[in-house]
Amino acid sequence: GSVHWQRPGKEPEADLPYHRYRAPSAEVEMTAYVLLAHLTTQPAPSQEELSFASLIAKWIIGQQNPSGGFSSTQDTVVALQALSRYGAVTYAKSGAASKVTLRSGGDFQQDFQVDPTNRLLLQRVALPQVPGEYSTEVSGEGCVYLQTSLRYNVQPTQEDAPFMLHVYTIPETCVDSKAHKVFDIGINVSYTGERNSSNMVIVDVKMLSGFIP
C-alpha cells in the first residue's frame, strides 16, 4: 500500500518484535524528492498523480519518528517540505469534522474530534496496556494522521574493557585539617586488551573545583 525508492544492493529489512525498520537517510530524501516532483507539475497535478503521490506520502510518514523528524537533518528538511506540499495540494476547505475513536479489546475507548479549529493540533493519549490489541474507527469528512510510538529500553551488552583505571587519594580519608587542603591523587592505568601493545593512550586529569595541581 505504499511506494518508495531505494538504492540497489540494500539488505533486507529486519523482522524483530516491536521493531519497525527505518530506511537510511538517503532513501528518505530520494523518495521525498520524487514526491515533490509529482506535486509540482504544472498547471496542477492530475488525479492520477495525486493518487500515486498518496502512496509515496504514506511511506514517508511511516519513516517519521515520534519527534516528527527522520534519520538526519537533511532528509528531515526535504521530507517535511514534501509532506507540507502534499498537504497544501490535497487540502480541501470544509467545515465538516472528523471523529476518531480508539478502542481496545477491553473497556478502553478514547474519542478525538478533528475540525478546522484544531486540525493542526496534536492530540495524544497513553495506551493503558502494552502489548495489546487496539482498533481505530474514523467517521466524517477530512484527513487525519494517526501515529503510534513505542518506547522501551534495552540493556546494553557487557563488554570487556581494554583498559583498567584505578584512581585513589593519599590519604584515602581526610583524617586531619591538612588533608582538606592538600592531598595526592594516584592514577593507575593498565592495558588489559588482547593486543600486544595499546598504542598511544591519553589520560586527561581534571582538578576538583577549588584545587590546582
In order of their start, the domains of the chain are 1-91 (no CATH), 93-153 (2.20.210), 155-213 (no CATH)
Q: Find the mean pLDDT for residues 108-136.
A: 90
Q: Find the mean pLDDT for residues 146-170.
A: 86
Q: Which of 121, 16, 4 is nearest to 61 (CA)?
A: 4
**Has residue 142 got a pLDDT over 90?**
no
pLDDT at 36: 95
Query: What is the Rg, in whole angstroms, of the alpha carbon atoms belonging to the chain?
Result: 28
Q: What is the mean pLDDT of the chain?
A: 86
Task: Record the cell numbers describing residue 86, joined without a space.
Answer: 502534499
pLDDT at 95: 65
pLDDT at 13: 57
**How, if at all, do strands 98-104 and 134-140 pair?**
antiparallel
The 8-class DSSP code of residue 120 comes to: T
CB 186 within 8 A of CB 202: no
For the whole model, what pTM was predicted? 0.61
pLDDT at 141: 78
pLDDT at 67: 86
Task: Record the cell numbers describing residue 142, joined without a space.
Answer: 477530512
**Has residue 174 got a pLDDT over 80?**
no
Say which residue, 111 or 94, is predicted with more confidence.
111
Task: Record the cell numbers describing residue 48, joined without a space.
Answer: 492520477
pLDDT above 90 coverage of the chain, percent:
36
Task: Record the cell numbers describing residue 108, joined without a space.
Answer: 478502553
The 8-class DSSP code of residue 179 comes to: G
d(C-alpha 91, C-alpha 17), whole Å = 36
- What Å distances lie between residue 80 and 22, 60, 87, 142, CA to CA? 16, 9, 10, 20
In tens, the pLDDT along 14-73 reads 555 555 567 889 999 999 999 999 999 888 888 888 899 999 999 999 899 888 899 899
